[in-house]
Amino acid sequence: MIPERTEIGAEETRPNKAAVHFDRRELVAAFVALAILTAVELSVARLPGIGHAARAIALIALAIAKASLIALFFMHLKHETTILKLTVAVPLAAPPIYGLVLIADTIWRFFR
């Protein structure tokens, strides 16, 4: 049997910064933005007359925008301290750099 409602006790949940800033309208707005960006992605992927490089840059930029929305609003990173944000963001910057260097190297060897 699930209790109807329990009051928040001082020791049940901690009054952290993220909890204070919990805003359902903000979450729904982020969801709508994500759905719209997904529709834009589909349009960009199917739009004729766009070069492969321009399409790739646009799609990667859209993916980064969507991932940022999820991290900032759904994963509450927006309301965390700068140090925690950097703890997450700085290591995540490494794989794209490795990827760009290694893929560029492969393309260079391919056309050499």
Partner 1 sequence: MSSPGIAVHAGHGPVAWPPDAQYGAASAGKIGMWVFLVSDAFSFGGLLIAYGILHAGERVWHRPGEPALGILFTAFLTFLLLCSSLTNVLAYSAAMEGDRRRTVRLLAVTALLGVLFLVGQGQEWFGIVGHGLMTEGLVFGHSKRASTFYAITGFHGLHVLAGVVYILVIMSAYARGRVHAAAVELLSLFWCFVDFVWIFVFSFIYLLG
- Interface residue with partner 1, options 47, 50, 54, 70 (CB under 8 A): 70
- In the bound state with partner 1, the residue whose beta carbon lies nearer, of 3 and 49, is 3
Cα–Cα distance, 26 to 21 (Å, whole number): 10
Cα–Cα distance, 20 to 29 (Å, whole number): 18
Stretch 74-103 residues interacting with partner 1 (CB under 8 A): 74-75, 80-81, 83-84, 87-88, 91-92, 94-96, 98-99, 102-103
Cα–Cα distance, 20 to 36 (Å, whole number): 28
- Grouping H, G, I as helix, E, B as strand and the rest as coil, residue 20 is helix
Q: Residue 37 Cβ, how far from partner 1 at the closest point, in Å?
A: 9
Distant-in-sequence, close-in-space partners of 42: CB < 8 Å, separation ≥ 6:
none
Residue with tokens 């050499």: 112
Q: Residue 52 Cβ, how far from partner 1 at the closest point, in Å?
A: 9
Cα–Cα distance, 23 to 14 (Å, whole number): 17
- Interface residue with partner 1, options 49, 53, 109, 112 (CB under 8 A): 109
Backbone angles phi, psi at 76, to 5 degrees: 60, 20
Query: Which residues contact partner 1 by CB under 8 A?
Result: 2-8, 10-17, 19, 22, 24, 27-28, 31, 34-35, 38, 41-42, 44-46, 55-56, 59-60, 62-63, 66-67, 70-71, 73-75, 80-81, 83-84, 87-88, 91-92, 94-96, 98-99, 102-103, 106-107, 109-110
